[in-house]
Amino acid sequence: MATADLDAAQPCFHSVEGAATAVAHPNIALIKYWGKRDERLVLPRTDSLSMTLDVFPTTTTVRLAPAAEADEVFFNGAPGVGEARKRILSFLDVVRETAGQRERAVVDTRNTVPTGAGLASSASGFAALAVAAAAAFGLDLDVTELSRLARRGSGSASRSIFGGFAIWHAGRGLGPAADLASFAEPVSVGDLDPALVVALLNTGPKAVSSRRAMQRTVDTSPLYRPWADSSTADLAAMREALVKGDLDSVGEIAERNALGMHATMLAARPAVRYLSPATLTVLDTVTQLRRDGVSAYSTMDAGPNVKVLCHRRDASQVADAVRSAASCQVVISGCGPGASLQSGALQR
Ligand code: PMV
């Protein structure tokens, strides 16, 4: 049963009550995941690598509802609607299939980060849901299995099972063997005390979901293949830089990988453009910080918001520069923890 080190005061927390609560944090990819080779199994085309944040946690409770005929979903206390709700229901079907059960469930998920704004809410959301749902349905999963399960909800969620830095292996081929080979795990990091300064430029939902945008990019962008090839080389260089604790190399590789990913989207037909004028203002500010001798590097996901990688000791200076250049709210994050049941940390 236990996927976690359950509190002795609540030894049967999930098995008797059929309910569990989990917390997970978003992660920001330094080597991006962009493009699937299997939509249903969420198998990516390339490996990716991320840092888990210590801000913007998602807390999710899953409670089995044996008498109910349908699942129920609540986002921040309000009934879930639309695509976001549909994704959770499909995910519950995957959990039920894995557990060999048919019971319906009530999902209550609370995000502290704006949803669908390219701030990795789906990573924290599906990591927390995977851990809570696995426990509520009595699945005995280790962290690798939880990472595979979270992947089925949202690819990037596979990495939020882990704290610190994590690599998500693409695996090869298709089918069940490929499914087994595609999971995240922690990566070794040398002497590094990094921060990500998050510039909240626009927290509204994005016009095109990352799922649709990456599919269009793979299908139509002539730049996709070259980027995917260079991303494989970037990942190898990034791992070396992380082991050496070389923040400048880590940052340079992360920035070029992210800009390359956005270039693939700009070349898609029709183009997908998430970057806004405010994004470019922050990019210029970060370039100027580097000219002034501060190690700072930008990365952007499926939205206009910029995350700036720097040494933790420089984070306030970077935050001040970004805030005054873009007149925006700024949040400083360090390396965060992996997903956990509320009553204890994942063990296996
Ligand atoms: O996990 P998804 O489907 O939300 O896709 C995430 C894609 C990026 O955030 C742009 C990159 C990444 O690796 O997280």
Q: At residue 346, what is the residue type? A: L
Report the number of distinct structural domains present in the chain: 2
Q: What distance in angstroms lies between residue 302's CA and the mean position of ligand 1's atoms?
A: 7
Residues 317, 293: contact at Cβ < 8 Å?
no
The whole-number pLDDT of residue 112 equals: 85
Structure tokens at 344: 């204890």
Q: How far is the CA of 123 from the centre of ligand 1 (A)?
A: 8
User: Which residue's C-alpha comes closest to atom 10 of ligand 1?
Assistant: 301
Give the pLDDT mean for 202-212: 87
Q: What are phi and psi of 145, to 5 degrees?
A: -65, -40
Which tens digits make up the pLDDT trace of 131-142?
999 999 999 999
Please identify, by atom number, the ligand 1 atom nearest to the C-alpha of residue 302.
Answer: 10
User: Domain range for residue 141?
Assistant: 8-172+180-190
Residue 301: DSSP 8-state = -
**Whether the predicted pLDDT of 284 surpasses 60:** yes
The closest-lying atom of ligand 1 relative to the alpha carbon of residue 157 is: 1
9-66 pLDDT tens trace: 222 233 336 999 999 999 999 999 999 999 999 999 999 999 999 999 999 999 999 9
C-alpha 146: how far from chain center: 14
Nearest CA owner, ligand 1 atom 8:
301
In a domain, 31, yes or no: yes
- Same domain assignment for residues 237 and 294: yes
pLDDT class of 213 with cuts at 50, 70, 90: very high
Indicate which CATH number applies to the domain containing 70: 3.30.230.10
Confidence band of 8 (pLDDT split at 50, 70, 90)? very low
pLDDT at 344: 41
Flag whether the pTM goes above 0.95.
no
Determine the length of the chain. Answer: 348
* Residue 82 and residue 154 in one domain: yes
Q: What is d(CA 76, CA 88) in angstroms, rounded to the nearest whole number?
A: 14
SS3 195: strand
Q: Quote the percentage of the chain above a pLDDT of 70.
A: 92
- Cα 214 to ligand 1 centroid, rounded to whole Å: 9
Q: What atom in ligand 1 is closest to the CA of residue 122?
A: 4
**Are 134 and 249 contained in the same domain?**
no
CA atoms within 13 A on the CB side of 266: 10
Return the pLDDT at 298: 98
Residues whose beta carbon lies within 6 Å of some atom of ligand 1? 29, 32-34, 48, 122, 154-156, 210-211, 301-302
- Report the percent of the chain where pLDDT is more than 90: 87
One-character DSSP codes across 30-86: EE----EEETTTTEESS-EEEEEBSSS-EEEEEEEETT-SS-EEEETTEEP-HHHHH
User: What separation, in Å, do the N-terminal and C-terminal C-alpha atoms of the chain show?
Assistant: 12
Cα 20 to averaged position of ligand 1 atoms, centre (Å): 26
